[in-house]
Structure 1
Amino acid sequence: MAFSLAATTLTDTAVKEPATTGQSLRDIIQLASYICDAPVAMVTKADDSELNLIAKLGFDGESILRKESFCGYAMEARDAVMVIPDTTLDSRFNTHSMVAKGPKYRFYAGSPLIDPDGYVIGTICVFDYQPKQLNQRQIDSLQALSRQVIAMLELTKLSEQLHQTSMTDALTGVNNRRAFDQRFEAEFARWQRTGQPFTLALIDIDHFKSFNDSFGHAAGDQALSEVAKLFQRHCRNYDFFARYGGEEFVLILPGTDRVSAYKTLEKLRLVVANHEWPLRQLTVSIGLASAEKFSDKKQLLEAADQVLYKAKTQGRNQTGVFSDS
């Protein structure tokens, strides 16, 4: 079913992209290059079969097969810097493709990256086209830089974990209101910039207060979590689902007009209605509005909310669609 509401327009601003640790790692390999007087430097991070280059200087590749790398040997050294003064005199590497063919490296030094749990996760290393030796101060400095890389990666991991926690609803495990606010602003800015449509849907669990009154808040919390799981499991993988507050959820459907969004939301509504609920049947009411009708995100949100209200007052367990007709 579709409902009609009037729309007005205003303007809004875009959001900035978050910063990364890339520049800091590039600074570190610049230091490694300078300290060791070597034109090629990189930080590698290992997976099962490859060493991924998470920072690099003087090298064009993105990854190296672990079994074919110099760094694979350096990772086995653990607490020492592996130095190869002349690769052509080392039986492990004198036939290596990067020595015998191109780029014909003659010198290598690599310090393993050891995480706080004691695992070797990669290296910081330097290459040169001329044979040479490092003095003890250079070796100590390369080890110090490897510890700085680990400290930076751990700080980044912690920051990501804290960010994830701050963006996740503690009860249901889905995105929270803060995460929605950021994504909503970004999607609206993209719509204004590119004209790519998206649709916003507000979802409310019907008669949830009476459910809590009848079965208690613990049962209500379980019901909230189960509704969240159903939506998370059945919505499209590129949609953005979040808990908006109380028994209300929100769904952003990128690149979706209101007709397609209505079909998608009706399927999700029926998933909840047809679910086997242990205590009492639960349903949801939904209000959706398409961004293409608005140039102000606040009024888009208000339109979806008013359509949701109409869906609830006109019988519940239905999807209302904003229309300007």
Structure 2
Amino acid sequence: MAGYPYTSLHDLALKDIEWERWQRLVNSIAALFNSPVAFINQASNKGIEVLVASELPTTHYSLGGSASIETNVYCHKVVRSNSPLYVKDASKTNEWDNNPEVIEDNYISYLGYPIHWPDGKCFGTLCVMDTSPTNYKQPFLEMLEVLRDVISSDLAHLYRESELKIESRLDPLTKIHNRRGFEEAFIQFQKLGNRLNRAAQLLFIDLNNFKKINHTLGHKAGDEVLKRFANILRSCIRNTYQMET
């Protein structure tokens, strides 16, 4: 297993993330901590992946660089425990003897906080590292925690925006595509078919005598029929196919 069950934000090419703001954030953190490096990392399917790195000559790790889940790096411990980690001097313990960050780059000090998805699961880390032992005072620890909360808040906003976009394209009763969602999906399938030189098929299904159900049993019964019918359709087709109510 290379990494965690999340797709890299870089691979998703999300336009709603304020990458420039995150960049200014890590640059400021490195300056405030007088640290050679600061990072925003994601626990993605690549492992621990660098999303944003401080723009300093002392920053050795490039954007998109990653450490597999088997590699003993500091951030893996933060993600697995979903809790902060402060290593003042890694040379004082053998826990990090095989950590490439220590062996290859001499980053013997690490302070990292977990960044959270809206559901509380660990998204990744906000961290600073140093080639010298450190002894950060409590205000510095609290400051990095607050800045971590800013990033977590950005992710929560991104998640809400995504949910609203999805909801605007679904019928609230059946949870399958409404007209707007179907038309957008149809255009995408049409473009895909043209690109692959493949024909697309459109299937129309009508429920006979549906009005009689509403008239005789009431709209609540009619709504239940629609929901059950939508569930049957959903169970019979691939997720890549599109349905409209």
Q: TM-score, normalised by structure 1?
A: 0.54
Q: Kindly tell me: are residues 124 and 40 of structure 1, through their superposed partners in 2, closer, same or farther at Cα, counting changes over 3 Å?
A: closer
1:88 counterpart residue number: 91
Maintained 8 Å contact 2:39/2:50: no
Unaligned ranges ≥5, structure 1: 1-16, 244-325
1:97 counterpart residue number: 99
Distance in 2, Cα, partners of 1:179 & 1:54? 34
2:189 counterpart residue number: 187
Identity in percent? 20
Maintained 8 Å contact 2:78/2:112: yes
Describe the SS at the equivalent of 2:66: coil
The structure that is strand-richer by fraction is 1
Displacement, 1:216?
2.8
Distance in 1, Cα, partners of 2:31 & 2:184? 41
Distance in 1, Cα, partners of 2:36 & 2:110? 9
Maintained 8 Å contact 1:42/1:126: no
Distance in 2, Cα, partners of 1:163 & 1:54? 28
1:125 counterpart residue number: 127
1:71 counterpart residue number: 75
Unaligned ranges ≥5, structure 2: 1-12, 54-60
1:108 aligned partner, one-letter code: Y
Question: Does residue 43 of the first structure (1) align with residue 45 of the second (2)?
Answer: no
Displacement, 1:133?
3.0
1:3 counterpart residue number: none
Distance in 1, Cα, partners of 2:19 & 2:100? 27
Distance in 2, Cα, partners of 1:73 & 1:61? 15
Distance in 1, Cα, partners of 2:210 & 2:119? 46
Which has the greater radius of gyration?
1
Q: Deviations over 1:223-271 (max 9, x none)?
A: 211221111110123211221xxxxxxxxxxxxxxxxxxxxxxxxxxxx
Q: How large is the Cα RMSD of the aligned pairs?
A: 3.7
Distance in 1, Cα, partners of 2:156 & 2:124? 14
Q: Deviations over 1:89-133 (max 9, x none)?
A: 33432x1332564344333221233678877664311234x2253
1:153 counterpart residue number: 155
1:21 counterpart residue number: 17
Maintained 8 Å contact 1:41/1:125: yes
Distance in 2, Cα, partners of 1:32 & 1:186? 42
**Which of these residues, 218, 224, 231, is aligned with residue 216 of structure 1?**
218
Distance in 2, Cα, partners of 1:117 & 1:201? 38
Q: Kindly tell me: are residues 120 and 218 of structure 1, through their superposed partners in 2, closer, same or farther at Cα, counting changes over 3 Å?
A: closer
2:223 aligned partner, one-letter code: D
Maintained 8 Å contact 1:26/1:55: no
1:233 counterpart residue number: 235
1:290 counterpart residue number: none
Describe the SS at the equivalent of 1:240: coil
Describe the SS at the equivalent of 2:164: helix
2:177 aligned partner, one-letter code: N
2:174 counterpart residue number: 172
1:205 counterpart residue number: 207
